[in-house]
Structures are given as structure tokens and as C-alpha cells.
Structure 1
Amino acid sequence: MIIPADHPKRILVNHELHARLPEPLVPPEQVSHLLLTSDISMGPLERKKLTELCAQFGHTIYIPEENHFRIDLGPFRLKWEKHTEVSSYTFFRQGPFREPFVDTIIKGIPQRWLAELPGKTLAATHLAIYSTPERLYNPNELATLFEGDALTGAYIGEGSGIAYADFHIHGDGFSRFIVKDISLNSRQAGRVVQRLLEIESYLIQALLTYPEARKVMPMLKQAEQDLAKITESISSATTEEEPALLHELTKLAATIESVASLIQYRVTAAQAYYKLVRQRIIELRELRIEGTQTFHEFCERRAGPAISTCETVLQLQESLSQRISRASELLRTRVDISLEHQNQQILSSMAKRAEIQLRLQETVEGLSVAAITYYLVGLIGYLAKAAKAIDLPLNPDLIIGAAIPVTAVLVALGVRQVRRLVSEEQQKLD
């Protein structure tokens, strides 16, 4: 059949659906799991190290540009997965074995290769899964396997298996899990092991935020005290003090935003990881073993308070940001009102000056009319005297007296016309 061309990401998305399928397990099996810090830039180096390991066991292969890879190298099977912040290396080996945590898989991995893996170790786990013997371990046997640590355990799959863990780092740097198969098939056993490993991995990633949250808590408390002092000062601040208070609020807001940049992403990530932990525990479908705390109880009692602390820090930071914003708005409003009051005073003063200037201008215009009239009448007087000198029948004094009101009126009209023209030009420019 011929169908329309594939979407450019169809194959990639389809592969992602099958990228992290659990490894089918037939008990007895041993598992060693490493979780290392990683980022996008480490991808090529991680694939290079995988190629080197395969070559050491006689497999010359190409590692695809994908975020997952699995291979059977003979003595063991390897599954590699790359995530946003971590990469995981899981090694599987078929049994039988007598002591699950003595002759571990990791001892058969080239030690130099392990030491050169990029990233830092976040979690390291040994897990053993095998068929349930005729009788269960008694407390003394479990204490020996887990070196006396307090145990977490439950029936899983509603009784299809049993899982024990201690979530402690032992002398070899690894924590320990034991899974006993009662009626699990290979796929179910693989899913159980994957969920248990993911519970520890996601739990560790969620708790990475806790030290950061504790570190910023004193900063937030100090910021809250500073904000209380500034808020108290606002109510009694004078106009001259308001700009300084606004500057302090701006500095405090910058401090809180720097804290937010440190903690907000990590707390959100911790919430997401812890949600995954809870989801994986639900998928275990655990039932209580008398006298043993379940995985749900362990996570809620041990990790729950730490996650709550991280969430409290985030809420406190957001609350402080909102309170600083409200205080800044209040202070800016006061500053704006003060500026408007000052502007009104300036405008009132300018209006008074304009009124004085107008009166002065009117006075000057009156004097100007008088002065111009005086000079013009003087010229008319000279003309009248000159006409009388050539024997014209004119009376200079009478002519001067008659010219004064006429000239004054004409000059006043002329000055008014000039002022009107100037006002019109000013209005056009405005």
C-alpha cells in the first residue's frame, strides 16, 4: 500500500513509546543500577563510553543517536537510559547465586571504565530477584542481608511477589533490594524491578532540592523582616524619605527574584519527581507485611516532610514577592501623588506669573500707546509749524490738540491688531 508521507517526527515518537520498556527477568537474577548526573552536552561522551565497553566484550557496534540503548554482552546485559538531568546504567545477570550482595555484577565490570563514566553518582543499587523458597526469610536472616538496617517491605502485585529494601548506602556505596517471585511472569518481574529502581532514583532526585531550600530559608526570613521594617516606615515617611524607601524596596525585590531563580525550578522539579515516586508506589499494588513499614509509609514519613519544606519555601518566596509588589505600588502611588501636588503648585505659580506678566504687558502697551502718540503728535506739530512758516493759514496749536485723540485711537488700534496677530501665530505654533 502507498500512504501519505510520514510526519518528520513519526518514527521518533513511535520509538519513544518503546524506549523504556522493562527488561524481562526470569528469577534468579542479579541487578546493579547506577544513576549519574548528566546533561545534553554529555551525550556524545556517554555513547563513546558505551562503545568502548561493548568493544571490550567483543561487540563492535554503533550506538544510535537516541536516549536509550540495550545490549547482551554475554556475562551480563546492559540497559542505558538518558534523561534530562541524569543517565542510568543498569546491569542484569542470570543466576543462580547464593549471596545476593557478595558476588555482584558490578565487580565484573571493568573498574577503569566505571571510574571514567561522566557525571556524579546520585544513586547506586544492588537488587536480587529469585523464586520464593519454601519458607520466607526470618528477621535474623533479613538483618544479616541488610546489615541490621531498618527494613521497608511489602507484598507487591497484590501478593504476586515480595519486595524488601533498606534505602541505606552500605560500605560498597550501594543500597540493597530483594524481590521474591511468587507468581510473577517475566514481564511482571521486569516491571516490578523497574518500578523499585525508579522509586529510589526519583526519590533521590526529588530530595536534591531539600539542601537548597534550607540554604535559602534564612535569606527569606531576613527579607521578611526587612520588608516589615520598610512597610512600617512607609506609614510615617515624609515626602523626602519616600524615594529612599522605594530604592530599598527595589533592592529587596531584586534579592527575592534572585532567590526565586535559585529555588523555583528545583522545587517544581522536586514536586514532579515526588509525584512519580507516589505513582510508582501505587503501581506496585503493595500489601502490608506484618511488622514492616510499606514503601508508601517510608516515603511519606521520610521524604514527605522534606518535600513539604521545599514547597513551603516556594510559597514563602511567592508570598514575599507579592507583598513587596503591593508595598512598591503603595509607595509609588504616594510618590506619584506627591509629584502631582508639586506639579500643581508649580502650575499655580506659573499661572500667577502669567497673570502678572499679562498685567505688566497691558501696562507697557498703555505706555507704548502714549509714547507713540506723543512722538507722532510732535511730528504733526512740526509739520503744522512748517506750514505756518510758509504763510499757510493754519493754527499749529489747534492742529496739535485735534491730532492727539485721533492719533491715540489709531495707535491703540494698531497695537491691538499687532497683539492679535502675534496671539494667532502663537496658537498655531502650540
Structure 2
Amino acid sequence: MKLWDKGFSTDQKIDHFTVGNDRELDLLLAKYDVIASKAHAKMLGDVGLITKDESEDLVRELDSIAKTIDGGTFTIEDSFEDMHSKIEFLLIEKLGNTGKKIHTARSRNDQVLVAMQLYLKNELTEIKSEVRILFDLLLDLAETHRSTLLPGYTHLQIAMPSSFGLWFSAYAESLIDDLYFVNAAYKIADQNPLGSAAGYGSSFPVDRTSTTKEMGFTTMKYNVVAAQMGRGKVEKAAAFGISSIASTLSKLAMDICLYMSQNFDFITFPDELTTGSSIMPHKKNPDVFELIRAKCNKIQAVPNQLVLITNNLPSGYHRDLQLVKEVIVPAIQDIKACLELMHFSLKEIKVNDKILEDPKYNYLFSVDTLNELVKNGMPFRDAYKKMGAEIEAGTFQPKKDIHHTHEGSLGNLCLEEIREKMKGITDHYI
């Protein structure tokens, strides 16, 4: 069944090409199409386009369909083009002519728009929750290991003292920046497009305010052409949000892989979180973190994919837009999996608290030793030359009793301030 069926057949090859993997993706979106259809059915009854009894019958059967979706028994067979056609078929099967009235005053275009935006609102909210869980773990680890020193590197050369407290809380605070993008994407998605139909509105006297309220949107996308132009743009905004999170996770995963190396030996994980080699019995490979790194790097390409699909399309609907679904939906599932696995694994991390006993890390303290000379009255440039000469001559004696006090330094991590900042960002749009 196709919603646009005019009574003649389409070549099977063309059908397969145009439908693609919509059926599989629509299994994730079907519950949102039902939510939107219920709001639409109620509105049709309220404005008199169908009777109250017809409206109530549609809502009742849509509730039954929702139960099959929640129970995992809802399917979209090959004879149906997508979730919309299957849901409408079920309504007609149960209600006859009343089922045929559900499509009054709407188009498959605004059906897709509203289902996707409801889906994105829900998924972005869940992603924020997963980020918050990881954030809390990172700050707890920062508190636990706040005094354990860690070599800081620039250019992959030994640079200055850092700490595990700084390292963990750095990634925690970076996640806050990522959520600014996620919140922006949520706000864009939180605009009801239902009622825009094929992108030019309808001659039916629909009540878009009532469907906006019924579905829990904060506002509507008022201009019907602007609503249609949101298709692809909303997904792109979500993609920028999740790609920002992916950038943070990828960098963290890379640090973990590096720090697990025997050449660094800064951290370890239990055997069950690593893998072995088929021929080297000593190996403990960080496969989980390597896959998080790779998946997150792949996710960072998603905004560009969506740009290339949508950037030269004129206003109005084009079939190109079908492809945005197959790009954004898997990316959202991947970022949720990466967040979950990062938290699951990172809570088992074991920190080496004896790293700086290795004499090669003495040079970490050259800047602090230099600064001590400056605080005692020596001009900075003279102190820099003196320190350089001592290092060159092999007479450098590091001052290891470092004392960093400014906000955000290893002696003053400002963990509570970072928690408050996260509280401010996660309290929005949830």
C-alpha cells in the first residue's frame, strides 16, 4: 500500500530504489507517527472535519497500534512503503471508511516532519541524560584522583605537570560545551510542523495551535513553507550537536588508548574490558576505546553528509530529503552506544599514582622552578636563560613542591563550579 497510489504498478526495481531502507528505520519512528496521528485525529474531530465518534475511534485504534509498537510486534512488511502506509492500512482494516479519513488535511511530508521532530526531541533528551551520567562519573573520578600528578604533553613532548583531577574534569567541562549545541538542536526541533501539509498549507480549517499543545511542542513553525524547509535542517542541527559530543568522546578515547600503552603506563583496565591477540599472549588491547574513537570520528562526518544532501535544494519538497533519515538515525543510535560504553568502561579505570617517579619526568617541573626564581625577583628572561643553561649542562634540580592556586589549575579544580555550570545547561529543554 502506498499513500500516493493511483491504481497502477511501479516497477519493482524502481520501488526498491525509492523506498530504500525506510521500513527498517521507520520501526524506530513509528511510535512518533502514532503520537502525531492521535493529535491530528483529535483536532479533526474538534474542528468538525470528522465526527466526534470517528475521532474517538481513530484515537482508540491508534492506542492499540502504539501498544504493538511498544511490545515489539509491530512490523512493516514489504507490501507497505513505510510506517505511514502500514498504520493507515491497520486503521482502515479496523475502522473501514473512518480509517480512510485520517489523512484528511495532511501530507506524508508533514507526517515525516512531525514524526522526525518528535523523535529528535526524545533522542536529544536521552542523549543529554547519558552525557550527564558520564559527566558525573568524570567529576567523581576527578575528585578521587585530584592530587595524583600526571605528565602534561605539548607536541607529544614532556611539558608541564598536570593531574588526573585536571584530566578527568577537563573532559567533564568539555561535555558542557557539547550540550550547548544539543540544546540549540532541541530548540529547533521543538516547533510543530504539522499542518504544513505538502509545504503550502491546506484549505481545510485545521487548528495547528491545538496539535502543538497536544504533542508537547513549545511553539509551532508558523510559516508552512518554512516548516517544510525545516526538513533536513532539523536533522542537521541534531547532527552538529551529536558530532560535538563525538569529538569529545573521540579525543578521550584516544587519550585512553595512548595512556594504556606500555610506553606510557598511566592507566589500566580489568582484563574483561580489553582483548587479547591471536598470537601474542601478553596483549591487552583497548578495542572498546578504539571502536568508540572510530565510531565517533564517523559521527563527526554526519553534518557534512547532510550539508551535501541538502545545501543546493530550492524550497519545496524533493525526494533527496528521504536520505537524511538514513544518515541521522543510525548516528544517533551510535552516539548513545558510545556514551553508554564509555561510562561502562571508564568506571573501572585504574590510575597509576607513581608515574612521576620516573626521572625522565623531572623536566615537567622546569617552568615551576623558573617561576620560583621570578617570584624571588629575577627577571623572567634571565630566569629562562638560567634554567635553559642548567638543563643543557645536566645540573637542573627540579622544584617538585608545586603550588598552583588560580581557578581551574591543578591546585584549584573548581569542581563545584563546573557542576553548577552543567546543572544550568541540563535544566533547559528537558
Query: TM-score surpassing 0.5?
Result: no
Looking at secondary structure, tell me which structure has more strand per residue. 1
Report the structure number with the largest CA radius of gyration: 1
TM-score by length of 2: 0.29
